[in-house]
Chain A
Amino acid sequence: MSKPKIGFYWCASCGGCDEAVVDLAENILSVVEAVDIAVWPVAMDFKRSDVENMQDGEMVVTFINGAIRNTEDREIVEILREKSKYIVAFGSCAHLGGVPGMGNLYTRESILECSYSETPSVVNPEKVCPQGETTVPEGVLTLPVLEERVWTLDQTIEVDYYLPGCPPPVALIVDGVTAFLTNQLPPKGSVLGPKHSLCLDCPRKDTKPENMLIKEFKRPHETEIDLETCLLAQGLLCLGPATRSGCGAACINGNMPCTGCLGPTDSVRDYGAKALSGIASLFDAETEADIARIADRIVDPAGTFYRYSLPGSLFQGKVFQKEGARS
């Protein structure tokens, strides 16, 4: 009997998620032993027609990383959905939109304008801009078209499981793949990770003050960061309290605050709103002026609290009042 087939695919992503699969190191041998990797564009050669020619449900599971940013992403994940029994949204971008999701603070037109015209290093006097179709003497050339906004995977196709993180920590990938290999899958729709927040697993949790209050936020480059004390207690904006655990506190161990890549725990719908709520309640101020002074130090609230989750949030992006600016 042939081995079950699995796939990996990337959409709008940086390649870090595929790197994380490679980081499985010798663990990947047990995966390869158990399954056939049928699709993996970053590591293997395959053509779109190879996937199109598969039977429906022929692949047991496909791990899709990256956000949905252009028409090609959408077309391919729709095909993969048909060919796969299970789809796992792999990494922050597929899960909640990720860093590319910050693009939802801008219109499609302004992004193209910025990339192809306004950027100082761009020389483009003829205002050449990518088109879906271009007619040349030899015929019509086509390119994938940038969508109006960034979508999460589950806004595009039905998703069975989520592997969170930017990229997903190796331990979670191993646990997730093992769940498939051993038939011990949690309920559909589960995020394959711990259910509690990072603080619970933080190596510095014993240094957390009983009553945490913050007088002033500091950015990492503005202060000498103590190696052992709770980062929030040092005035660094650490999002550990709002973020799902499972990363082994990798950033904390690197003496950097958590930026929230694993997203919210199961009880939270909107990561950014909840993280903002938790951080704001720590402000050591009661008057409007004092509160504003502390808030002034959080220079980019959207980028801070929605760094990995804007398209998956309640607002999903900036609200453009002009009719038709958003699809």
Chain B
Amino acid sequence: MSEVSKSSSGNGFEPRIVGFFCNWCTYTAADLAGTSRLTYAPNVRVLRVMCSGRLDPQFILDAFRKGADGVLIGGCHPGDCHYQAGNHKALRRYTLLKRLLKTMGIEEERVRLEWISASEGDKVQRVINEMTEDIRRLGPLRLPPIPHAGRMPGEAVERVSSIGQETGL
């Protein structure tokens, strides 16, 4: 994920929301909202995932770290998961993550999980408008930048270099 683009206009704060939408329901519903010419707040950057169960909690934290003010997760209604139980897993992770985020000082409204079926274009409109207003009230998140003198843990696999030829030992 590259840095979430800035969309502040003038002095007014425009929330930046990252949406992780399930391919089989919410993403299709967002398409429906578009083809139905529903207008809604332009504050959500939608990322399509194959299932809300694919959503690693790291993605959510990373979105915040990279400048998001809120994260919206859209999945299939319980019982409707294309992969049977992906949305249940999403709900379990979301429940525990919300508790963690509370300890970390993140307001509850900044992460939202909604079940939106492929036919609910109007719900996409309503949820996005609501969440945009909720976060507008909260203001920006402003995570401090990550200091980085060396590498980040987890990047070792990507860094293949051949130092260590001569250690002098």
Contact = CB atoms under 8 A, between A and B. Distances in A.
Contact of B93 (A154, A281, A317): A281
A185 B163 contact: yes
Nearest to B66: A314
B3 interface: no
A274 B153 contact: no
B163 A264 contact: no
A263 interface: yes
A319 B105 contact: yes
A contact patch SS? loop
Contact of A276 (B78, B93, B168): B93
Contacts of A272: 100
Interface in A53-89: 60-61, 85-86
Interface stretch (B30-38, B119-127, B140-148): B140-148
Contact of A281 (B89, B148, B156, B168): B89
B156 A187 contact: yes
B92 A285 contact: yes
A222 to B, nearest CB: 20
In the complex, which range does the number of interface residues on chain A fall in? 35 or more
B57 A4 contact: no
Contacts of B78: 286
Given A154-B149, A280-B96, A318-B105, A188 B154 contact: no
A326 B105 CA distance: 13
Interface in B67-124: 78, 88-89, 91-93, 95-97, 99-100, 103-106
B169 A4 contact: yes
Nearest to A285: B92
Nearest to B147: A155
Given A158-B149, A277-B56, A327 B144 contact: yes
Nearest to B162: A187
A267 B103 contact: no
Given A277-B93, A295-B99, A187 B160 contact: yes
B161 interface: yes
B57 A274 contact: yes
* Minimum-distance CB pairs A-B, first 8: A185-B164, A154-B150, A273-B57, A269-B154, A314-B61, A319-B105, A302-B103, A301-B100
Interface of B: 56-58, 60-62, 64-65, 78, 88-89, 91-93, 95-97, 99-100, 103-106, 141-144, 146-157, 159-169
Given A60-B167, A295-B96, 11 more contacts: A34-B169, A154-B148, A154-B150, A155-B147, A157-B150, A159-B150, A189-B155, A266-B154, A274-B56, A277-B93, A280-B95
